[in-house]
């Protein structure tokens, strides 16, 4: 009679072990080395993302028209917050006080293509006190290898290039 409970327990252990899923990996757009940019205080006021990629999981392009959601590869926060934090970090603050300049970013494309590139296209608006708002467009692309880490690193590099374009806008929109 003891064999039936033992058999049921052994079956339950085997079934439970078979139901395990792969662990989630978390990624960030915030670079490992924080920026120490000096100059004007720019506040990243708002960021918008294309709805296709605005999700907790990483989304990659496959072929000419397919998107793949990587179910075990997640951003550390939702993508809009990751992007805003990383860009704010690249622009150097504001840490305290009142920012003198406001930045709004409308991301048009945020493509990650394994083994090829990461692409960032954004329209951004910068409002400095006492000046007209300027609207600029930046398109940057960085080569990437066939790994998630490489794609995330390429998007971090793209954010650094976007931050450089914003900082260089004192005399108008930089070429991208």
Question: What domains lie within the chain, and their CATH numbers?
Answer: 26-171 (3.40.50.10610)
Mean pLDDT of 63-79: 94
Nearest CA to 73 out of 55, 91, 98, 90 is that of: 55
Separation between Cα atoms, residue 163 and residue 161, nearest integer Å:
5
The answer to whether residue 15 scores a pLDDT higher than 70 is: no
**Residue 29 burial class via C-beta count within 10 angstroms: exposed 0-12, middle 13-18, buried 19 and up:** buried
The fraction of the chain above a pLDDT of 90, given in percent, is 62
How far apart are alpha carbons 81 and 117 in whole angstroms? 23
Half-sphere exposure of 17 (CA within 13 A, CB side): 6
């Amino acid at each position: 009679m003891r064999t039936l409970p033992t058999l049921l327990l052994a079956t339950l252990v085997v079934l439970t072990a078979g139901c395990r899923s792969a662990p989630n990996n978390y990624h960030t757009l915030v670079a490992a080395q924080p920026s120490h940019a000096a100059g004007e205080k720019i506040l990243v006021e708002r960021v918008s993302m294309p709805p296709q990629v605005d999700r907790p999981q990483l989304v990659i392009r496959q072929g000419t028209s397919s998107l793949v959601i990587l179910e075990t590869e997640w951003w550390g926060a939702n993508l809009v917050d990751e992007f805003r934090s990383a860009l704010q970090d690249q622009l150097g603050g504001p840490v305290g006080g009142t920012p003198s300049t406001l930045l709004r970013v409308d991301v048009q494309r945020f493509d990650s293509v394994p083994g090829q590139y990461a692409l960032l296209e954004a329209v951004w608006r910068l409002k400095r006190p006492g000046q007209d708002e300027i609207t600029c467009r930046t398109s940057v692309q960085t080569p990437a290898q066939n790994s998630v880490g490489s794609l995330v690193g390429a998007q971090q590099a793209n954010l650094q290039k976007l931050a450089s374009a914003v900082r260089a806008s004192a005399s108008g929109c930089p070429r991208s």
